[in-house]
């Protein structure tokens, strides 16, 4: 359903069909869009200026939210939470002085829909997260998220006290850029060894063992 939503939004913004999709693992919706413009030869002849890029991305984000929203009733049918994800979020939320959010390549509206569909949003403060409609790379988004959390809660959050749970080598690299600890989880396309080589401090095969996840984050 996500690819159908991408295709519909792309067609509405560019007037062209989405024939080829770029590599999506670890990429944000904004990166996917601009790479899709090039792959599908849909870039303006003169090349977009900075302002034109911002306007184009804003239009795409609006259309993508609408296209995905029209399909959100399919989430429970075609989607599923990773085994142990809900239990891990619930257990970590009970740790003292912990706030959980998301840094994701998905635009905020669609991230919220996905999380709500599986009752995961109750454990997260989405207002301090980072999303695919942002123009910042994920490393910067992590730093901004810490700053927003500090402003909202009146407490200084240092990178040394933060953990980024990542399933791709790009996300593990982003954690290094931000100076935060990284817990790699090999539930995506990246293997345990790839996540470790990319800089993850600890790597788990999955989230199934809640006690191991909590212990890893507590470390």
Same domain for 103 and 193: yes
64 and 88, same domain (yes or no)? no
Instruction: Tell whether 112 and 205 lie within a shared domain.
Output: yes
Q: Looking at the structure, do residues 151 and 65 belong to the same domain, yes or no?
A: no
* Digit-coded pLDDT (tens) for 78-113: 888 999 999 999 999 999 999 999 999 999 999 999
Give per-residue pLDDT as tens, 153-189: 999 999 999 999 999 999 999 999 999 999 999 999 9
Of 51, 74, 97, which one is at a domain's C-terminal end?
A: 74
Q: Which of 34, 52, 74 is the last residue of a domain?
A: 74
- Do 122 and 67 fall within a single domain? no
Q: How far apart, in whole angstroms, are the C-alpha atoms of residue 90 and residue 43?
A: 44
Token representation of residue 183: 């817990």
What per-residue confidence (pLDDT) applies to 26?
66
Query: What pLDDT is stored for residue 77 in this prediction?
Result: 85
* Residue range of the domain that includes 17: 2-74
Q: Among all chains, which residue has been given the structure tokens 């212990």?
A: 215
pLDDT at 68: 93
Is it the case that residue 201 has pLDDT exceeding 90? Answer: yes
pLDDT mean over 1-28? 85
- The reported pTM is 0.86
* Count of domains observed in the chain: 2
**193 and 156 housed in the same domain:** yes
Q: Residue 27 pLDDT > 80, yes or no?
A: no
User: Looking at residue 140, what is its pLDDT?
Assistant: 95
**Minimum mean pLDDT among 4-13, 24-33, 106-115: which range?**
24-33
């Amino acid at each position: 359903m996500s690819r159908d939503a991408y295709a519909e939004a792309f067609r509405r913004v560019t007037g062209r069909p989405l024939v080829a999709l770029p590599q999506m693992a670890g990429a944000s919706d904004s990166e996917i869009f601009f790479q899709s413009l090039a792959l599908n030869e849909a870039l303006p002849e003169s090349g977009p200026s900075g302002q034109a890029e911002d306007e184009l991305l804003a239009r795409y984000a609006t259309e993508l939210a609408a296209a995905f929203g029209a399909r959100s009733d399919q989430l429970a049918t075609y989607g599923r939470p990773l085994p142990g994800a809900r239990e891990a979020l619930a257990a970590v939320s009970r740790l003292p002085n912990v706030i959980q959010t998301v840094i994701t390549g998905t635009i905020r509206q669609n991230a919220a829909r996905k999380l709500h569909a599986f009752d995961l949003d109750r454990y997260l403060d989405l207002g301090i997260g980072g999303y695919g409609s942002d123009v910042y790379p994920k490393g910067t988004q992590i730093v901004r998220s810490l700053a927003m959390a500090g402003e909202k809660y009146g407490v200084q959050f240092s990178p040394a006290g933060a953990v980024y749970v990542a399933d791709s080598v790009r996300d593990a690299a982003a954690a290094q850029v931000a100076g935060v600890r990284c817990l790699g989880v090999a539930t995506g396309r990246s293997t345990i060894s790839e996540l470790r080589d990319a800089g993850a401090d600890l790597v788990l095969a999955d989230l199934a063992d809640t006690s191991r996840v909590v212990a890893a984050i507590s470390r």
